[in-house]
Amino acid sequence: MTAATLVHVVVSGLATGSIYALMALSLVIIYNATRTLNFAQGEMLMVSTFVGWTAQRAFGLPLAVTLLVAVVAAGVMGWLVERIVIRRSIGATHWDVLIITLGLSLMLRAGAGLAWTHDEFPFPSFFGSRPIALGPVRLAPVSLGIIGASLALMAALYALFTWTRVGRAMRAVAQNQQAARLMGISVERVYASSWMLAAMVGAVAGVLVAPVVFLSSKMGLIVISGFTAAVIGGFGSMPGAVLGGMLLGVIENLAPLYLPSGIRYSVPFLVLIAILLVRPAGLLGRIEQRKV
Amino acid sequence: MTARGRFAVGALLAALLVWPWVAPRYFVFLASVILVNVIVAIGLNLLSGYTNQLSFGHAGFLAIGAYTTAVLTLRAPGLPVLVTLVLGGLATAAVGLAFGVPCLRLGGLYLTMATLAFGFVITEAILNLDGLTRGADGLRVPAARLGALALSSDAARYYLTAAVATVMVAAAVNLVRTRTGRAFLAIRESEIAAQASGVPVAAYKTLAFGLSAFYTGVAGGLFAFVVGFLSPDAFDVFLSVDFVVMIIVGGLGSVPGSIIGATVVTVLHDGLAAFQNYRPLIFGALLIACMLFMPGGMTRALSRVRRR
């Protein structure tokens, strides 16, 4: 195998990894606010991408507007889910909420199947298909585009969490809910904005990845890779989510080159178990010290 | 046990005994599946409900038990069914311990993720060991043998499952009253408090892993006989998720909760099959409604009603 192929594989791994990273980030955003693992995250991504696609087909919208429609739809959906279901279970245990989000994911997937069938649909891409040649290395514009767009979104998220009131309120709630409430932060509003923000990040990931994997009701399964990525990086840590996503994407793309095809699907999971054995709280996670 | 409790247990046992005579053939099969799921739910509850280690990999343990028992029955037809079931359970427990001990360091979501990964690895391992398991083609399971007797009817398989399930439920109920059971209860209430009171938490968590895997492995053996055909895709992550649903809907850390949860979820899956595409929609809505109106699961809701 030449170095050029290796570069090509690593770049497409980073592209897959960017999507995983966005998925992991959206899981972490909700987890930090509500300490809930949102099973329905993948299905919310799938439904908002479908909404964007339907609008695009109905009105012949340009792709940028389609993305906007998907993101707005995701925001509305996140808000509705939080207000209608999650808010009512605010006093329930995490286990109960876990089952609620599981129920949501089943409903959303079945609902999408009824509305749009379970077929696969092609999705238009922002990026051309002609490979870009950099000397001997040939790179797919899709890969570069996905990486670029994801990095831009991550930078925007970083800015949001560092410099805006909403972002700082979210970080405060993640650190200590009671103290945040005492400082005058409306924890309920942070819950709602976390669900909206996570759904919107997911929608961007959905529009980016749909041209590659096709649009279908099964797209939501990507949540498993997002969860894996978040755990590798250390659940709750945002830089960890990005690192874990990139690592997972590259490993997934490199593994088939070196290992027999029979075990290729196990490789990410074996790597995950190995990482957890050495660092039980993920690469960048901290072990929570609990006081009694 | 109160008089009312004793009456309820007696009625349940009597119902188990006469079921094949009163119910149509399909419902005998369905009852066997429910009983298999009851054993898995109890096994999972020992781990998740008592020692707070949520596993999304129990379909993997079920697969190990199922394939071990099936392959033993194929290769060594002389072995009586009880021996193959116990061997299946022990093999699963061995894998459970080998996996559980290094996972002791992991808490919460990290353990959940590791067990999820375990499930995926097991499915692929079954595909790769096609010399033993016939891989993706699937494995036809011969009838269980008890001495010269071949258990080849639905009713015979049902009685085998019911007998094993009764023993394992009784064992689980009694376990709670032993030293081990009290340690589990202490860990369920608070891990830190248990540790402070001198309960060796790590040892009991390991034991819970082994016991849980043993229960699930035995259930896997029964599953192999009841269903009669094994293929790796039957043991996917959705099955693991179903087991988790059973114990949370039923009630964490409770044997009756495991029984109720396993029964309700299995019957629902079967009853909703007629609705085809609407099935997950209805099932999902029921899950949400159940957790909103009965937080903590059905056993807690029942005890709240009874106290009123």
Per CB-CB distance under 8 Å, the chain B contacts of A287 are 107
Whole-angstrom Cα distance, residue B302 to residue B38?
Answer: 19
Q: Does B286 touch chain A (CB under 8 A)?
A: yes
User: Which residues are registered as beta bridge partners of B149?
Assistant: B146
A17-31, A274-288, B15-29, range with greatest mean pLDDT: A17-31
The tens digit of pLDDT for each residue in B215-245 reads 999 999 999 999 988 998 889 888 998 899 8
Residues within 8 A of A (CB atoms), B 32-61 only: 54
pLDDT computed for residue A291 by the predictor:
56
Report the residue of B121, B195, B291 to disrupt the A interface, i.e. the one with the largest count of A CBs within 10 Å. Answer: B291
Give the pLDDT band of residue A25 (cuts 50, 70, 90): very high
CB distance A30 to A92 below 8 Å: no
Q: Is B285–A269 a contact, with Cβ atoms under 8 angstroms apart?
A: no
Whole-angstrom Cα distance, residue B29 to residue B153?
Answer: 10
Using DSSP's 3-state secondary structure scheme, residue A210 falls into helix
pLDDT computed for residue B169 by the predictor:
92
Per CB-CB distance under 8 Å, the chain B contacts of A103 are 283-288, 291
> For chain B, what is the largest distance between any 2 Cα atoms, rounded to a whole number of angstroms?
59
Q: Is B290–A99 a contact, with Cβ atoms under 8 angstroms apart?
A: yes
The tens digit of pLDDT for each residue in B43-82 reads 999 998 888 888 899 999 999 999 999 999 888 887 888 8
Nearest to A280 among B110, B284, B287 (CB): B110
Q: Does A275 touch chain B (CB under 8 A)?
A: no
Tokens representing residue B5 in the block: 């409790």
Name residue, tokens 């650190």: A175
Nearest to A231 among B109, B252, B287 (CB): B109
Q: Is B118–A273 a contact, with Cβ atoms under 8 angstroms apart?
A: yes
Non-local (6+) Cβ contacts of B163 within 8 A are none
Residues within 8 A of B (CB atoms), A 112-131 only: 113-114
The tens digit of pLDDT for each residue in B131-144 reads 788 877 888 888 88
Distance of CA B76 to the CA centre of its chain: 26
pTM value is 0.88
Residues within 8 A of B (CB atoms), A 155-184 only: none
pLDDT computed for residue A290 by the predictor:
60
Whole-angstrom Cα distance, residue A15 to residue A253?
Answer: 10
Q: Is B288–A109 a contact, with Cβ atoms under 8 angstroms apart?
A: no
The tens digit of pLDDT for each residue in A165-209 reads 999 999 898 888 889 999 999 888 999 999 999 999 999 999 999
Q: Is B296–A262 a contact, with Cβ atoms under 8 angstroms apart?
A: no
| Helices B58-75 and B201-227, axial angle in degrees (round to 10) | 50
Nearest to B109 among A37, A99, A270 (CB): A37
Nearest to B113 among A89, A109, A227 (CB): A227
Per CB-CB distance under 8 Å, the chain A contacts of B241 are 102
Tokens representing residue A13 in the block: 């791994």
Distance of CA B52 to the CA centre of its chain: 17
Nearest to A96 among B120, B124, B291 (CB): B291
CB distance B50 to B247 below 8 Å: no
Domain positions in chain B are 3-307
Backbone torsion region of residue A92, taken as left when φ is above 0, otherwise alpha when ψ lies between -120 and 50, otherwise beta: beta
Indicate whether B104 pLDDT > 70. Answer: yes
Q: Does B185 touch chain A (CB under 8 A)?
A: no
Q: Where does residue B13 rank: exposed (0-12), middle (13-18), buried (19+ CB within 10 A)?
A: exposed
Q: Which candidate, A39, A265, A272, A41, places its Cα nearest to that of B240?
A: A39
Which residue in A has a C-alpha nearest to residue B245's C-alpha?
A99
Q: Does B106 touch chain A (CB under 8 A)?
A: yes
| A·B CB contacts under 8 A | 124
Q: Is B285–A89 a contact, with Cβ atoms under 8 angstroms apart?
A: no
Amino acid at B10: G
Q: Does A292 touch chain B (CB under 8 A)?
A: yes
pLDDT computed for residue A136 by the predictor:
78
Which residue in B has a C-alpha nearest to residue A261's C-alpha?
B128
Q: Does A290 touch chain B (CB under 8 A)?
A: yes
Q: Is A280–B295 a contact, with Cβ atoms under 8 angstroms apart?
A: no
Non-local (6+) Cβ contacts of B193 within 8 A are A292, B186
Per CB-CB distance under 8 Å, the chain B contacts of A266 are 120-121, 124-125
Tokens representing residue B258 in the block: 């495991």
Tokens representing residue A128 in the block: 């051309």
- Class of domain B3-307 (CATH, top level): mainly alpha
Per CB-CB distance under 8 Å, the chain B contacts of A91 are 295
CA distance B182 to chain A (A): 21
SS (H, E, C) A47-102: HHHHHHHHHHHHHCCCHHHHHHHHHHHHHHHHHHHHHHCHHHHCCCCHHHHHHHHH
CA distance B22 to chain A (A): 35
Per CB-CB distance under 8 Å, the chain A contacts of B288 are 85, 100, 103-104, 107
CA distance A106 to chain B (A): 5
Backbone angles phi, psi at B144, to 5 degrees: -70, 145
Nearest to A110 among B249, B278, B287 (CB): B278
The tens digit of pLDDT for each residue in A222-267 reads 898 999 999 999 888 889 999 999 999 999 888 888 887 777 778 8
The tens digit of pLDDT for each residue in B248-289 reads 888 888 888 899 999 999 998 888 888 877 888 888 888 888
Name the DSSP letter for residue A121: B
Name the DSSP letter for residue B274: G
pLDDT computed for residue A124 by the predictor:
85
Q: Which candidate, A253, A210, A196, A260, places its Cα nearest to that of A46?
A: A210
Tell me what percent of the residues of chain A surpass a pLDDT of 70. 97
Non-local (6+) Cβ contacts of A184 within 8 A are none
CA distance B43 to chain A (A): 18
The tens digit of pLDDT for each residue in B139-188 reads 888 888 777 777 778 888 888 899 999 999 999 989 888 999 899 888 88
CA distance B137 to chain A (A): 15
